Copies of this chain bind each other. A is one copy, B any other.
Amino acid sequence: MQVKHPSYSVPNLPWEERPAGSSDVVWRYSANPIIPRDLLPTSNSIFNSAAVPFNGKFAGVFRADNKKRDMNINRGFSDDGFNWRLDPQPIEWLYDDPENAFTYYRYDPRVAWIEDRYWVMWCNGYHGPTIGIGYTYDFEKFHFLENALLPFNRNGVPFPRKINGKYVMFSRPSDNGHTPFGDIYLSQSPDMVHWGEHRFVMGTKGGWQSTKIGAGPVPIETPEGWLLFYHGVLTSCNGFVYSWSAALLDLEKPWKVIYRAAPYLLSPQTYYECVGDVPNVAFPCAALYDEPTGRIAVYYGGADTVTALAFCRVNEVLDWLKENSEL
């Protein structure tokens, strides 16, 4: 079997089988949450985290709000993908031009290996939220480019390879508050600095995804298309409810939606998803994929407070997606 992307061979991917008697397509890790809010002595919460395979083990970039409730991102390492050690200090970024470096906050990172390095994207505070881009070769030194887009934007998510010779990313144009709207767009770039050829990918629909949606983990390439896990938000009379599900996008024109799930795959139902700093949030930011076995491990934030794991198999997700798709 030919693995499509260097990150798609992860035989030691964290894994637990589906509970006996369950027929759920996605199931939670039985010892969730894997990262408690106070893993660091200074942390208020650790969630919405991006893990990747790294040197046969795992590394990642984690949203770690401190007890000021400042939002920033820290690196971390793990041998098994379950147990993590976090650097207590936020990442220090190297800059070419210090004039462009100031940032009010960083949150909700994603990480992707593309070609020769790990690219990091996150929501970056620059006169409002927008998409910051940086990279690292080794999780030791991190380099910051300029902001990719104008404010106001969130949920910048890179594709794991160039398409038609261009870098591609998702994002969600927003405003500067708790935005009550939001669709998924895609932008393209020759150099990770200048972005254009913006495309509308998909918008809100009914039910669990009626208020706003946003790309989750870096999409996974399958022979049938890009598998995207994405979050959706419903507004109840007591606030936002964040669930997540899946869509399949065209390989060459990834703004074309082939399938899109009508039901959610996972909605906040456990204590650690329903109770915390923001009740009723399940928010995925990373997905490890082992192509030979088809196993996928999804890292997602619970209640904007802790980090949890869920599991699924790529073929089961695709089958379910086809049966439950509504465009």
Contact = CB atoms under 8 A, between A and B. Distances in A.
B275 A68 contact: no
Interface stretch (A75-83, A197-205, A288-296): A197-205
Contacts of A151: 173, 185
Contacts of A193: 196-197
Nearest to A188: B194
A66 to B, nearest CB: 7
Given A238-B240, A239-B238, A280-B277, A263 B66 contact: yes
Interface in A148-185: 148-153, 171, 173, 175-176, 178-179, 181, 183, 185
A96 to B, nearest CB: 11
B207 A127 contact: no
Interface string A221-241: 000000000000011111111
Given A67-B264, A150-B153, A171-B150, A236 B278 contact: yes
Contacts of A68: 206-208, 262-264
A269 interface: yes
* Copies of this chain held together in the complex: 6
A24 B234 CA distance: 36
| A contact face: mostly helix, strand, loop, or mixed | loop
A276 interface: yes
A241 B277 contact: yes
Contact of A194 (B150, B195, B277): B195
Given A23-B41, A176-B181, A239-B237, A187 B280 contact: no
Interface in A18-73: 23, 37, 41-42, 44, 66-70
5 contacts: A175-B175, A176-B181, A178-B236, A190-B194, A194-B194
Interface of A: 23, 37, 41-42, 44, 66-70, 100, 126-128, 130, 146-153, 171, 173, 175-176, 178-179, 181, 183, 185, 187-190, 193-200, 203, 206-208, 210, 234-241, 243, 262-264, 267, 269, 271, 274-280, 304
Q: Which 10 A-B pairs have the closest CB atoms?
A: A69-B207, A238-B239, A67-B263, A194-B194, A194-B196, A175-B175, A178-B237, A69-B208, A68-B207, A193-B196
